[in-house]
Structure 1
Amino acid sequence: MLITASTLQALRVGFSTEYQNAFDAVPKLKDRVAKTVKSSTALNTYGWMKGLTGLREWLGPRQIDNLTEASYTLLNKHFEKTIAVNRNMIEDDNLGMYSDGFTMMGDGAARLPEELVWGLLKAGFATNCWDGQYFFDTDHPVMLADGSMSTYANTDGGAGTPWFLMCTNRPLKPIIYQERKAPAFTAKDNDKDDNVFERNEYVYGVDMRCNVGYGLPQLAWGSKQTLNPANYAIARAAVQGMKADGGGPLGLVPNLLVVPPAMESAGRKLLNSEYGTAGETNEWKGTAELLVVPWLA
């Protein structure tokens, strides 16, 4: 193959198309539980998180939230994948070996945000959020109507496979996906580029900058108990009973049940079946949508 500017342009388009087709084929599930926050700096500080839980009745002096005490900083991480194509391979028209590489590059770029979001959710039983407690914990701090401090739980513990009941129709979601730079496909295929002159290689890569963090714990219930009607009822009542700072109800209605593939059958029986295991009417049918997430396997 004679290497010309038009040849390289065609190769660039072909490699980019293979990358994009694979990128588009990956299921995008993270947006169901994660709010995307655009970042314009190296890091974002979410000092306003504590102030999202509602207003208090103004009696006497204002009660000022010290947002620095609840600050939560996410530093953007940088990710990349690079493939080098030997110039001789192009001249010899021997490019078949590279097709899978660009397919996997697109697949990996699309999977990374999913892996980050769902990995963080799964780690919530042992990872701190902005209030200093594990995201799924039994003693999150909350201020009562009289100004005293109390605690609330968003888990009932357990030792089995985790499942999650969430309220995802509020402005903030349980997880934050912070995006500094969306995945960008780049080619260094000019004959004057150092990689071509020094190593006889055309280089193609993708890079992105992002990170993930926790939103409001009240929006999600995490359980390692058996997924059955009794434990689902506990989770549902707990989410609906969540209070804001000041003691007022948040008015949450859980709408999404998230499970790994191994619990799909239990989730379908709980939310889709007309009858329970003993033939009784299934009172929980249709009370939430089931989302089966392969990244939780």
Structure 2
Amino acid sequence: MIITSSSLRAMFKGFQVLFKSGMGMAEPWGSKVARTLPSTGEEETYSWLTAIPGLRHWVGPRVVENLRSRSFTIKNKPFEKTLGVEREKIEDDKYGMYGDYASLLGQQAAKHPDDCIAPILLYGEQTSFLDPLVGPVSLVVYDGQPVFSEVHPVDQDDPDSPVQANYYPSGMALTPENYELVRANMRSLVDVNGRRIGIKPDTLIVSPQKEGAAKRIVEAETIARGGAQEDNINQGTAEVLVIDELSDSPGVWFLAMLKNQLMRPIIWQERQKPRFQALMNGSEYAFVNNQYLAGVDCRGNAAPAVWQSIAKCRP
């Protein structure tokens, strides 16, 4: 192919079409776990009420309740992936493989939020984690504890406050009994006034290795207990979400409330959607390096939010 500005534009336009097609073929799971919120600046600050509003018996003058809240800030990160196309490959019409790469790049761009969310699930009992793909990840929520903790204070302003847990570090294999225990504990969580928050878990998150066990717990009509089959009282209480990124920790499982968007445990903050761009003919880089550049970039970040909406269990 004779390299001209118009021929390069046509080639890279084809790459862009393949990139968008690849994005459409991807099956990301992050949008099922995180609440996606738009961002308009370098960072965004979010507030979380410490108490759930409720009505009271009206006797005498109205009682004014001053709402207390906690806040946390999510700073956007830039991300990129760049492809170099050698000049000779274009001249010799041997650039077909780059089209395949553009399609794969589209799939990876669509799943990029997954890459940012997965470390929160995998390492959320720590205060931070350095991920080779997404960089440093802060895992602390508004109360100063890691997102998964045994000692979340009910009222962080009270040094004598009781604590609540959403992390079970050992002895919690995925069994019907443990599922029922964690579910009951999540539904019992309270705010600073002692009022039930109203957590109703609806999703059982597992690794591919535990998909069968999870479905037997929440989908089977009958279940084995004490050597006999009986009606499965947990049938329909949750949907199963299988996440491939949990494969290296196959025994770990999560119970979460995800259908209520306002209470999702993680925020995916989107500043700039993935966009495909190219450096065209005449660029200084192409002259010096004998190749043309195309790539994708985006801005955003993931962070833990409502810890009460998810529990993590280890066997």
TM-score by length of 2: 0.65
How far is the alpha carbon of 1:227 from its aligned partner?
0.5
1:130 to 142, 145, 157: 142
The correspondence for 2:234, drawn from 248, 272, 284, is: 284
> Aligned partners of 2:16 and 2:52: how far apart in 1?
47
Shift of 1:158: 1.2
More displaced stretch, 36-45 vs 81-90: 81-90
Q: TM-score of the superposition, structure 1-length normalised?
A: 0.68
Match of 2:186 in 1: 239
Unaligned stretches of 5+ residues in structure 1: 160-224
Q: CA deviation at 1:257?
A: 0.7
Which residue of 1 is the match for residue 52 of structure 2? 54
Indicate whether 1:256 and 2:203 are aligned: yes
Gaps of 5+ in 2: 57-61, 128-139, 248-315
Q: Secondary structure at the match of 2:223?
A: coil
Q: Look up the SS of the partner of 2:178 in the other structure.
A: helix
| Deviation of the 1:71 alpha carbon | 3.2
Query: Equivalent residue for 1:192?
Result: none
Matched residues in 1 for 2:84 and 2:111: separation? 22
Separation in 1, partners of 2:89, 2:43: 42
Distance in 1, matches of 2:162 and 2:102, equals 53
> For residues 38 and 243 of structure 2, what CA distance do their matches in structure 1 show?
24
| Residue among 122, 142, 145 paired with 2:154 | 142
Paired with 1:289 and 1:34, the residues of 2 have a C-alpha distance of 16
| CA spacing shift, 1:87–1:52, aligned 2, 3 Å | farther
Query: What is the CA-CA distance between 1:148 and the residue it aligns to?
Result: 7.3
2:165 matched to which residue of 1? 153
Pairing 1:164-183 to 2, within 5 Å after superposition: none
Q: Between 87-96 and 264-273, report the one with greater CA deviation.
A: 87-96
Query: How far off its partner does 1:264 sit?
Result: 0.4
Q: Kindly provide the amino acid, as one letter, of the partner of residue 143 in structure 2.
A: D
**Contact 1:142/1:149, CA 8 A, preserved across alignment:** yes
Higher helix share: 1
Residue equivalent to 1:268: 215
Return the letter of the residue paired with 1:156: Y
Aligned residue for 2:97, secondary structure, equals helix
Deviations 1:22-65 (A, max 9, x none): 2222212111110011111111222x12x164136789775563
Whether the 8 Å CA contact 1:26–1:111 is kept in 2: the answer is yes
Displacement after TM superposition at 1:287 (Å): 0.8
Do the aligned residues in 1 keep the contact of 2:223 with 2:230 (CA within 8 Å)?
yes
Cα distance in structure 2, aligned partners of 1:88 and 1:234: 64
Indicate the residue corresponding to 2:251 in structure 1: none
Cα distance in 2 for residues equivalent to 1:143 and 1:56:
18
**In 2, Cα distance between equivalents of 1:252 and 1:45:** 24
Q: What SS does the aligned partner of 1:81 have? A: strand
Distance in 1 of aligned mates of 2:115 and 2:206: 15
Post-superposition offset of 1:124: 1.5
Matches within 5 A, 1:90-109: 90-109=90-109
- Aligned-residue sequence identity (percent) comes to 33
How far has the Cα of 1:226 moved from its partner?
A: 0.6
Kept in 2, the 8 Å contact 1:143–1:247? The answer is no
C-alpha separation between the residues in 2 aligned to 1:103 and 1:61? 57
SS at match of 2:149: coil
Shift of 1:141: 1.3
Instruction: Rate the CA distance shift 1:158–1:148 in 2: closer, same or farther, 3 A.
Output: closer
- In 2: Cα distance, 1:121 partner to 1:133 partner: 15
User: By how many angstroms is 1:118 displaced?
Assistant: 2.2
Matched residues in 1 for 2:96 and 2:67: separation?
A: 64
CA RMSD, Structure 1 to Structure 2 (Å): 2.7
- Matches of 1:97 and 1:129, distance apart in 2: 44
Report what 1:170 is aligned to: none
One-letter amino acid of the counterpart of residue 152, structure 1: Q
> Which of 1 and 2 has higher RCO (CA within 8 Å, sep 6+)?
2
Aligned match of 1:181? none
